[in-house]
Structure 1
Amino acid sequence: MNLPEKYLTTMKDMLGNEFDEYLESFNDNRLYGLRVNTLKISATDFLKISPFRLKPIPWIENGFYFSENDKPAKHPFYFAGLYYIQEPSAMTPANVLPINEGDKVFDMCAAPGGKSTQLGAKLNRTGLLITNDISNTRAKALLKNVELAGIPNLMVLSEDPKKLIHYYNGFFDKVLIDAPCSGEGMFRKDSKLIKSWESNGPEFYHEIQKELLLIGADMLKPGGMMLYSTCTFSKVEDEQSIRYLLNNRPEFSIIDIKDYSGFSHGYEDTVEDTKMNFSKMVRIWPYKMSGEGHFVALLQKSVDRELINHLDSPALKAKLPAELIQFMEAVTYPINKDEIEIIDDHVYVIPKLAGNHKGLRMLRSGLLLGICKKNRFEPSQALAMAMKMDDYASSINMTISDPNVIKYLKGETIEIEEIKTAKPAGWQLICVDNFPLGWGKLSGTTLKNKYCASWRWM
C-alpha cells in the first residue's frame, strides 16, 4: 500500500519498535462484524437461529465476526432489523458510553447510524434519542437504519450542530461525538482514504473537532457524560483535541473505560497530559486487536454548574380521525395518545421530552404511525419495525424457508391459499419467524404488498 511519507514518519515516531508490526497488519485479511439488535432479540437467542458462522467479538457483548463468505445483508433477518453490520472496532464507542433507561441522548455526527442504533437499543424504548447528521443525503440513510432497528423514541435531524446548541443547551444526559476525521485507522480497510488524507489531513479535521467538542460539552447537563471517538491515530485529532476541550471546559474530566486485554491507552507526552489522565483514554491498534484503528475518550461534566431547565413540549392531544381510532383498536403496542400529532395527514407519536424543535431541519419527529388518506389509515413501515408480532391483532408469520418471504421483500403480490379462512380481510403484520417485516393488506387469498418501496430487496 502506498502510504504517504509524512504519515509513515509520524507513525514511526509514535510506535517506535512496534512500527513494523503495524505495517505487517496491512497484510491481514479484512474483518467483518455484525452487532445483534438487543431491542428485538438477545445475543443468546440470535445465536440459536443464526445461519452464519459467527465468532464473538470479545470486548462487545452482542458483537460477532462473520465470514467473508456469509452475506448477512442479503438475509431476511437483516430486513427484520435483528442486527446491524458494523466494523468491529466501530462498535466500541456506543458500547462504552453508559446509557440508562430514560436518558436524553444525542448522537451528533450519526450517519449512517451504527452508533445510534446501538444507543437506541440501550434506551430500550425509553427516554429520547436525538440523532443528527449535517449531510441531508447521509441523514436519509441514518433515518432508514434507526427505523429498521425499531427505535420509536427518536428525532432524526440534519442540522449544523452550531444551530442545535441554541435549542439544547444543557439538555442531554449523554452525548456521543464520533467526529469527522482523517481516517488513518481505516487505511487498511479502504485505501481510497489515503488520497483524502493527502488533501485534508489531521490539522484540517482538528479544527472541526475542536468546535464539535465545545458544542457537545455545552449541550450536556451537569453530571452528564460525553463520548468522543475517531477512527484515526493522529495525536492532533485525538489527544490534542481532548486537551483543547479540557483547557476550555475545565468542568470536564476523563473517566475510566472498562479495560480489555488488547486496549492501548492515550499518550501522555507532557506533565499536563498525565495530570489530565490521558492514560484513561483507549486506542485500538489493528496489530494488537482484531479490528481497525479507533480512539475513544469518555468524559464527565461536573455537577457544580447551574442546572438549566428545559420545558417539555405541552401535551398535544390531537383530535384523532375515526379511521385512526379504528386501526388502533387492533394495536396493543403502547402508544401515548397525548403524544400524537398529525402534520399534513402524517400521524406521529412525538416524545414530550423532545421540547421545542420548531425551525429545525427534521427528517423524522418521533415514531411515524402512518398516513390518513381519504377516510382510511395506512400504517407505516416504521411502526411495523417498532412492533412485536403480538402487538397487532392479525399477522401472517412465514418461516425463513418460505419463498414468499423473498417475494414479499421484493414488493410482489402474494397468493396465500391456506390463510383464506384463518385471517380477516384488511391489514396484516407480515413476519418472518415471529419478527415483523412490514405490512400487507389481505383480500381473500391475495396479499397486497405494502412493504416500503425504498427498502425492497434488490
Structure 2
Amino acid sequence: MELPEAFKEKMKNLMGEAYESLLDSYDQPESKGIRTNTLKLEPEELANKLPFKTQGVNWCREGFYIDHTVRPGKNPHYYAGLYYVQEPTAMAAVEVLDPKPGDWVLDLCAAPGGKSTQIGARLQGTGVLVANELVNTRAGILSTNIERMGLTNAIVTNEFPERLVDSFYQSFDKILVDAPCSGEGMFRKDPGALADWSLERVDRCMGKQEKILESAHRLLKPGGVLVYSTCTFSPEENEQMIEAFIEKYPYTLETIELPGIIDHGRVEWTHKQQQEIAKTLRIMPMTVKGEGHFIAKLIKSTVVTDTIEIKPGYAKSRLKKATRIELQDYNDFAKNNLAAEFSKAFEDRLYLLGEHLYAIPEGVVLERIANLKLLRTGLHLGTFKKNRFEPGYALAMALKLSQAKNVCDLTDEELAYQYLKGEALNLEATKGWVLVGYEGYSLGFGKASEGLIKNHYPKGLRIRKK
C-alpha cells in the first residue's frame, strides 16, 4: 500500500521501533466481521444458521470474525436483520459505553448505523435512542439500517450537534461521540480515507471534534457517561483532544479494559503529560486483528453549573395524537393481523404525521423536538390510504412471526430471493395481509389473494440479483 510520505514521517517519529510493525500491518487483509442482532436471536443461534464460518470477537459477545472473501450482505438472513456487517474493532466503543435497558442514549455522529443498532439491541426496546447524522444521504442510510434491525425506540435526527441542545439539554444518560476524523486507522479498509488524508485534514477534523464535544457536554446529564472514539492514530485528534477537554470541562477519565486489547493512550504524546490519559484505549492493527481506533470513557461530574440559556417555549409539532376515529382503519388491521400484546404496547403512543402513523418512544416530548429535522420518530407502523391502512416495512421488521396472525415463513432460499427482488410469490395464504419471513424471521409484508402473494417489499430496498 502506498502511504502518504507526510503520514509515514509522522508515524515514524511517534512510534519509533514499532513503526515497522505498523507498516507491515497494512499488507495484511482487512478484518471483516458481523454483529448479532440480539433483538432477534442469540449469537450461538446465528452462528448455527450461517452458511459461512465464524470466529468469536474477544471484546464483543455478539461479534464474529468472518473470512475476508465472504459477502455477508448477500444472505437472506442479512435482510431479515439477524446481523449487521461491522468491522470487529468498531464494536468496541459501544462495549465501553455499556448502554442498559431504560437508558436515554445519544449517538451523535451515527451513520451508517453500526453503533446505533448495537446500542439499540442493548436497550431491548426500552429507553430512548437518538441517532443523529449531519449529512443528509448518510442519515437516510442510518434510518434504513435502524428499520432493518427492528428498533422501535429510536429517533433519527439530521442536524448539527449544537442544534440538539435546546431540545435535549442534559437529557442523556450516555452519549457516544464517534467523531469524524482523519481516518488513519481505516487506510487498509477504506481507500477513500487514504486518498483524502493530509495534515491539513487532521487540523480540520480537530476543529469539528472540539465543537462536537462541546455540544455533547451540554447534552449529557450530570453523572452521565461520554464515550469518545475515532478511527485515527493522530494524537491531535485522540490523546490531545481528550487532554484539552478534561481541562476545560468537569470530567474524569475511567480506565478501559477490554479482553484482547492491550494498548492504551500514550501520555508522552500529549502536551501536558497528564497521567490520566493512560486510561484511554488504543486499538492498533499490529496487536489486534482489526483496524485502528481510539476510545476514551469520561464520567461527567454530578456538580455542574452551566450558564447556557435554553430558548423558552415550545414549537408546534407536526406529529399529532391520533384520535379513535382516525385510528379506525389501523385498529381493524391490528385486530385482524397482529397479536394483541404487540399492538397494546403502543396503543397510548400513536401519532400521525400526515398520512403516516408512528408509535413514538415513551417519555419523548414532541413539542420539544418539533424544530429539529426528524427522519424517524419511533416506530413507523404504516400509512393511511383511501379506506385502508397499509402496514410499513419498519413494522414488519419489528415483528416476530409469532406476533402476526397470517404468516408465510419461507424455507426455500430461492423463494426468499424472489421476494427480496420484489416479485410475487405463487403460494397459498389466507386472503389479506401476510407477514413474509425466512426461516423464522420477518422480511416484510405481502398481500394474499387467489393463490398469489403480492409483494410489498420496499422498492428502494429490492435486490437485483442473488
TM-score (normalizing by structure 2): 0.92
User: Equivalents in 1 of 2:191, 2:331: separation in Å?
Assistant: 54
Equivalent residue for 1:336?
346
Deviations 1:400-455 (A, max 9, x none): x3422111110001111xx3xxx421001001011000000000211010111111
Q: Give the secondary structure class of the aligned counterpart of 1:353.
A: coil
Q: CA deviation at 1:381?
A: 0.1
Mapped pair 1:374 → 2:381: no
Mapped pair 1:392 → 2:404: yes
User: Equivalents in 1 of 2:115, 2:182: separation in Å?
Assistant: 19
Q: Which one-letter code corresponds to 1:67 in the other structure?
A: D
Mapped pair 1:407 → 2:411: no
Q: CA RMSD in A?
A: 2.2
Mapped pair 1:318 → 2:317: no
User: Equivalents in 2 of 1:163, 1:207: separation in Å?
Assistant: 17
Deviates more, 1:162-171 or 1:334-343: 334-343
Mapped pair 1:431 → 2:437: yes
Deviates more, 1:142-151 or 1:314-323: 314-323
User: Equivalents in 1 of 2:348, 2:305: separation in Å?
Assistant: 31
Equivalent residue for 1:365?
377
User: Equivalents in 2 of 1:141, 1:186: separation in Å?
Assistant: 20
Note if contact 2:108-2:131 (Cα within 8 Å) is conserved in structure 1. Answer: yes
User: Equivalents in 2 of 1:383, 1:311: separation in Å?
Assistant: 33
Equivalent residue for 1:280?
279
Note if contact 2:320-2:353 (Cα within 8 Å) is conserved in structure 1. Answer: no
User: Equivalents in 2 of 1:28, 1:267: separation in Å?
Assistant: 25
Mapped pair 1:6 → 2:6: yes
User: Equivalents in 2 of 1:306, 1:14: separation in Å?
Assistant: 38
User: Equivalents in 1 of 2:210, 2:361: separation in Å?
Assistant: 31
Q: Which one-letter code corresponds to 1:209 in the other structure?
A: Q
Deviates more, 1:321-330 or 1:380-389: 321-330
Deviations 1:243-277 (A, max 9, x none): 1211111x2111122233333000112695434x1
Equivalent residue for 1:149?
149
Q: Relative to structure 1, is the Cα distance of residues 164 and 274 closer, same or farther in structure 2, using a 3 angstrom cutoff? A: same
Aligned residues: 450
Deviations 1:19-72 (A, max 9, x none): 111111111112111111111110011112111111112222111111233221
Equivalent residue for 1:351?
361
Q: Give the secondary structure class of the aligned counterpart of 1:369.
A: strand
Unaligned runs of 5+ in 1: none
Equivalent residue for 2:131?
131
User: Equivalents in 2 of 1:206, 1:306: separation in Å?
Assistant: 26
Q: CA deviation at 1:306?
A: 6.5
User: Equivalents in 2 of 1:100, 1:426: separation in Å?
Assistant: 39
Equivalent residue for 1:105?
105
5 Å-filtered alignment, 1:56-67, equals 56-67=56-67
Deviates more, 1:44-53 or 1:315-324: 315-324
5 Å-filtered alignment, 1:218-297, equals 218-249=218-249, 251-269=250-268, 272-275=272-275, 277-297=276-296
Q: Which one-letter code corresponds to 2:84 in the other structure?
A: Y
Q: Which one-letter code corresponds to 1:394 in the other structure?
A: N
Percent identical among aligned pairs is: 38
TM-score (normalizing by structure 1): 0.94
Equivalent residue for 2:25?
25
User: Equivalents in 2 of 1:226, 1:300: separation in Å?
Assistant: 6
Q: Which one-letter code corresponds to 1:35 in the other structure?
A: R
Deviates more, 1:264-273 or 1:174-183: 264-273
Equivalent residue for 1:456?
462
Note if contact 1:177-1:213 (Cα within 8 Å) is conserved in structure 2. Answer: yes
User: Equivalents in 2 of 1:30, 1:265: separation in Å?
Assistant: 22
Unaligned runs of 5+ in 2: none
Deviations 1:174-193 (A, max 9, x none): 10011000001111222332
